[in-house]
Amino acid sequence: MRFVFFLLFSLTATLVRAQQVPAFEGKDTGAMIKASHLYHFSKNVDWPAEHKSGNFIISVMGGGNLHTELVKRYNDKQIGSQQIEIRKLSKTVNISNCHVLFVGKEHTDILPEISEAMKDRPILIIAEHQGALDMGAALNFVVVDSRYKFELDQDNATRRNLFVASTIKSLALRVQ
């Protein structure tokens, strides 16, 4: 009987504690984590000199609440001397100039076309779909043990004349 009482007491205490501390209630923590990573990736990649003036443009295609999180947290920040500008894109392969392009999993079907259309531009393409590196992305988010990790295709970045800092390489789950 004491065991049943202890079990019920423990369960009730856990439920009460969970109601008292609604951590991240109503927040898209995945979008928050990805936004933070995109910002830090941007700070640790070097673009050619002709792309270091004007606004630093991060474009988002899909990705749920990622665009909102980027605007909320990073729209007033800078990469080097460039003011960050966040753009939301519809599903298209006609992408205007940008420094970083995030392609959400709902648009992975056009990632090979995007990669081909942008092959001569220094654009850091980031995706969130298994196999995205083979489709032209330089960085790809993956979930491992309920945590966001990322993988890097160094050749995809180099072909676009982008230099990826060693910190990104060292933190990547996988580098190819």
Q: What is the pLDDT of residues 10-44, one digit of tens each?
A: 333 333 333 333 335 567 889 999 999 999 999 99
Q: Are 123 and 58 in contact (CB under 8 A)?
A: no
Helix (H) or strand (E) holding 39: helix 29-43
Q: Look up the CATH superfamily of 26-175.
A: Response regulator (3.40.50.2300)
Domain locations in the chain?
26-175
Q: Cα(108)–Cα(150) distance, rounded to whole angstroms? A: 16
Task: Give the contacts of 112 (CB within 8 A, at least 6 positions apart).
Answer: 135, 136
Q: The pTM is what?
A: 0.83
- Enumerate the β-bridge partners of residue 127: 103, 140
Query: What confidence tens digit (pLDDT) does each residue in 77-135 have?
Result: 999 999 999 999 988 777 878 999 999 999 999 999 999 999 889 999 999 999 999 99
How many Å separate Cα 6 from the centre of its chain? 44
